[in-house]
Structure 1
């Protein structure tokens, strides 16, 4: 037999037969019915006492109390229903009220992304996926952009593989979009595979005239900052360029030594070629003079000298056809020097490309230093400008 009224009671003994006899028996007239009713009431009270003692002495595992949302109490039994005052508090003093209960409760998840304004700056609070904690990001609406906010998110939590911002219609917001433009409307923040709906508070836009005044103030503040920090900036830039120049020179020194050796060898061979041409011309002059005045006469040697001169002109024209340059002695000498030099480079496997790149970088750094040290760049007064020119 079970009692069902927001809790269940388990009885180990069967129901007495007099109960059934008292409830199911037919009523008879007269004194016999009155006696039977009185006997039934006395036996009922004794049975209730026995039931009460059994219930109070029963161990707690036989009692089950269940509370949950949506449960209704069952129909009360007219036979075993007892008032709450019938149970003595001494019998329940040793057991807390929460024994044998199962509480089913649920709470709504807190909002994971919020936007508030503190001291005029937007503060975006985001729940980081790795550490399950909220982190606040204070942004500058006029200078920061969406890309800065996304970089701060990934730098704060290395577990973020993908982060992006989308508008309400599903279009992705560009990284160059300003924070002030982003906070004008609702948007979606996607972190990895989780989408957060962000509803920034509404703020009134400045009128056009006030916006122009604000831009003028920003420009003046920027000029003031530049004027106050120009010396420090130029000094730091000069130190940076000098350090870079020293680094490039240290890389260039070993290559410069190899280049000097190759250059000396190429110069020596070019000089030998020049002196060889001079010796050839002198030998040709001597042979023609000997044949003209000693061996033969001018009448015989004149056609020979003509063909020699014409052959020399043909050689110069062939030089132009091959090199696309006029046969000029300085240019011809430089060309021969470069031929000898590159032959030495191939022989020694000298990295000529790296050497040329280092030379270009050094020239660029020296030009930057020259421009940085220019009096006009230093914003010196006119008197100092004239002194520097003198």
Structure 2
């Protein structure tokens, strides 16, 4: 069960300010049922015609701008994410002349009980300096948790608490200066990212408020990376002839110029190997298994090269920080953080 709080009234005010009469509504995974039950009727009663998008909505990079234009909508209402680096309220970001309204949606949880669970573990393990993070739906819980931990004498190093799966890389500056990460979200997603960014050297307390359980993200991360490395070793031992560079056409993920640089670099380093650009919206893993490429290099969402490796049956999907192992034809020196790395030849 979820609660829109005051954001729904604010959303209507923002839409009216933009002169919106028809809006394309898209929701983060897990929210569609609640949003359709409450938001559609609320907006319709206030004169806003709602068209519901059934497309994927994995983050603020994944906005349905083309659908909005196709169906004559005035704006996209994107529920369940904030814009990169932002917290609080309703935000408007323009994509190619289309306003995208980012609106929060919070799970209705027993905040006191959940905070009690986490504080007991943090204090019981003697952690004194921690980083608290969550996905957007858990923002009220995480903010309250920060205040409770600080009242107990625990140093919480950052006031911001909400992070996207791709943003975990921005926090590696805290490696060596914190005792643990407290990740609040459903499932393993957020905690696995932090485990990899910190190379498994910083304890990650992954707390699922729905089950009120603590999850072992280390074993999940090791299993996923283990699958990737096993396939990569096999690929390098038997050799490869074709590499596909994956490009997303999503507005917030499309990095075509970068993909061209990656393709050209690989062509210059991998003599006799065919390297092609492959364009997708969502990246269908079953299609990657079917296409005649031995290995793929991902320039779309970096989480594809971590969370989805076990959904590929045969092929290897590498992120940019892992390309060096393809070129050296060895996995010597591999680190978990390579999954979020950026090679020097791209930034130099």
Q: Which category describes the TM-score, using the shorter chain as reference length?
A: under 0.3
Provide the TM-score with structure 1 as the length reference.
0.16
Larger RCO (alpha carbons 8 Å, 6+ apart): 2
Provide the TM-score with structure 2 as the length reference.
0.17
Q: Which has the larger radius of gyration?
A: 1
